[in-house]
Structure formats: C-alpha cells, structure tokens
Structure 1
Amino acid sequence: MKKIFLVFFIFATVFIIDQFIKYGFVYFDWGYEGKVLSLQLAYNYGVAFSMFSFLKEYLKFIQLIMLFVGVIYLYFNKSVFYKYFVAIGLLYAGGLSNILDRFTYGAVVDYIYWHYGFEFAIFNFADMIINLAVAIIIYQQLFKKKDKKTSV
C-alpha cells in the first residue's frame, strides 16, 4: 500500500512541476537564449520529432487509449506494477501531462532547445521524465538478468 501512495506522490509532483513550467512559457513568455541551450516556446503537434503530426486531433485520444490499456495491463499484472512502480509513476506523469497539453493548447508545449554542436529537437520536462522512466526500466531489466546469471 505504501508503494501506491509513493506512486501517486511521484505522479502528482512531476505532473504539477511540468504543468507549472509549461504555463509559464505559454502565459508569461518565459524564455532564454544561450550559446548551448535556449528556452523558447514551441508547439509539437506530433510525438517525438513531430512524427504523426498529421493525426493532430486524434493523437490525444490514441494516447489516452494507450495509457488506459497500460492501466488495465498493470491491474492484471500487479507484480509488474510493484517491480517498476517508480518508473510507472514517472511515465504516467510525463505522458498524462503531455496529453493534457493536447487538450488544453492543441499541441504539446515544448521549450528546451539544444543547439550546441548539433541541432536537436525541442523537448520539455515531461519528455525528460519519460526518458528517465524508460532508463529505469531498462536498468532494472539488466540488473535482474545479471542476478539470474550469478545465482545459476
């Protein structure tokens, strides 16, 4: 039961931080122009690197369905939830925050632009959190396989 409360705490914290930052960029014109990194408002109508932007209005519903399917999967596979609960809290916070952007602003609010040495896509805090969640899951998978090999 403590893990469930921790997941909700992680979710709420990340979700609120991300939405606060995006609100500042949209309504208070936050920004910064640097030599390595710029913070500038951009709207992404697709997913990573603007892929599937042609789906615009439908994308938010497709993503909601995917997250709902994930909830159903986790409900029937509680051991997966308990093993990856931190990553799941992060993943759902970032994902739902970006989906809320689609309903609120019509697109995902991006603002971090790396441009030193090479031009990189514009992304946001939720995107970084989603990547962190995936990295945690991969790390746990590699660590688990390593334990199995040593115990045999």
Structure 2
Amino acid sequence: MDGRTRVTAAIGAEEASRQEKRTSRSRNLAILLAVGLVWFGLDMLTKSWINGSYEVGQTVVGPILGLVQFTLVHNTGMAWGMFGDSTTALGVMSLVVCCVLIVYLLALSPRASVAEAVGIALVVAGGLGNALDRFTLGYVVDFIEPVFIDFPVFNVADIGVTCGFVLFLGGLLLRERREAARERALMNGDASQDSQGPDLP
C-alpha cells in the first residue's frame, strides 16, 4: 500500500468515525429521553398513588409470592437511615451525578453502547425522581419492602438506579473489550502489510 492510498484510507476512516459518533449521539439522546421519561413517570405515578392514599407505616399490599409487600415509608436519608438529616444535600448530590452522567453520555463518550445509554437513562430517571421528592416533600417516598430478608424499603427510582448502574457498567466493560480487540486487529493488519514490503509498480 503506497503513501497516497494510506492517506486516503486514513481520511475515510476518520470521516466514518465522525459519522458513527454523530449517529450514536443522536441514538443515545433518543434512548435517554424515551427510557428516562418512561421510568421517571412510572416512579412518580407509583409514589403519588401510595403517598396520597395511605398512611405512613401502613401496609397496603401483603406479601407477594413471599418476596415483597408494599408499606409506605417517608425516608429523609439514605438506606438504613444513614444521613437522615441531609435530605437537601442528598438531593443536590443526585442532581450533580445526573448531570455528570448526561454529559458523559452525550459529549464525553458519544460512541457509548445501547446498554450504557439505557443504564444511564435509568440512573438519571431514578436520581431525578428521588431528588424531586427531597426538594418538594422533604423526604423520599419508599414503599417496596422485602419480607424474606432484612433490607431497607425502596421504590421504583431505586430499582432504576441499581439496575441502571449494573447495565451501564456491563455495557462499558464490554465496549472497551471490543474496542481493544478492534485496535489489536488493526495493528496486526498494518504490521502484516508492512512486512510484505512496498507495492511494486
């Protein structure tokens, strides 16, 4: 492969990379909005229903398959009662984390995978849902209580944050492995072509 062909190939690869980034950024924005809005809406709907219809400490739904029951709890802190008097600070922290994740998805890592985008959307939706509770109510509405294990009461937002983090981390690790394998393949290909020597006229 002569020098001119190498330059042409490099320019083509760079343009393809830019196009891929633009496409991925648009796709990830759509995922962020769609998944985030659906999960945020589900969180708000369930909280509004149970908080507006029942009393704190009241068990609304008995054990479901021996796994969970619905018991209304107002949580001013974190899990296991930690930071119980810091609800506003925790709300601000949630907003900061959400902003960082959005910037990462749309600006710093435009080629993020679908799994990363869905994971971030769930984390952001859950973080914003709990932050809204803290700022407007002064507490987070929790109601999903495990009955088979000693575990804090949680809500739909918490499910989104936990599952979203796992999905994001898994997608990130998988993408990095694929990109590393792609780079190794390209390097091996270049080395193979170089070993063959220059093209004869």
- State the TM-score, normalizing by the size of structure 2: 0.65
1:10 to 2:35 alignment: yes
Q: Which residue of 1 aligns with 2:9?
A: none
Q: Does the residue aligned with 2:88 lie in a helix, a strand or coil?
A: helix
1:94 to 2:119 alignment: no
Structure 1: any 5+ residue segments left out of the alignment?
none
1:47 to 2:78 alignment: yes
1:56 to 2:71 alignment: no
TM-fit CA distance, 1:73: 4.6
Does the aligned pair in 1 maintain the 2:142–2:154 contact within 8 Å? yes
Structure 2: any 5+ residue segments left out of the alignment?
1-25, 185-201
Which has the higher relative contact order, 1 or 2, with Cα contacts under 8 A spaced 6 or more apart? 1
Q: Which residue of 2 aligns with 1:144?
A: 175
1:104 to 2:136 alignment: yes
* Alpha carbons of structure 1 residues 64 and 143: separation in structure 2 relative to 1, 3 Å: closer
Q: Does the residue aligned with 2:160 lie in a helix, a strand or coil?
A: helix
1:85 to 2:117 alignment: yes
Q: Which amino acid aligns with 1:17?
A: L
RMSD: 2.4
User: Cα deviations across residues 121-145 of structure 1 (Å, max 9, x unaligned)?
Assistant: 1001110111111111222234235
* Alpha carbons of structure 1 residues 148 and 63: separation in structure 2 relative to 1, 3 Å: closer
Q: Which residue of 2 aligns with 1:28?
A: 53
* Alpha carbons of structure 1 residues 78 and 142: separation in structure 2 relative to 1, 3 Å: closer
Q: Which residue of 2 aligns with 1:38?
A: 69
Q: Does the residue aligned with 1:53 lie in a helix, a strand or coil?
A: coil
**Percent identity among equivalent residues?**
25
Q: Does the residue aligned with 2:86 lie in a helix, a strand or coil?
A: helix
User: Cα deviations across residues 58-102 of structure 1 (Å, max 9, x unaligned)?
Assistant: 32223323333444455540436x332211111111100010111
- State the TM-score, normalizing by the size of structure 1: 0.83
Structure number with bigger Rg: 2
Q: Does the residue aligned with 2:164 lie in a helix, a strand or coil?
A: helix
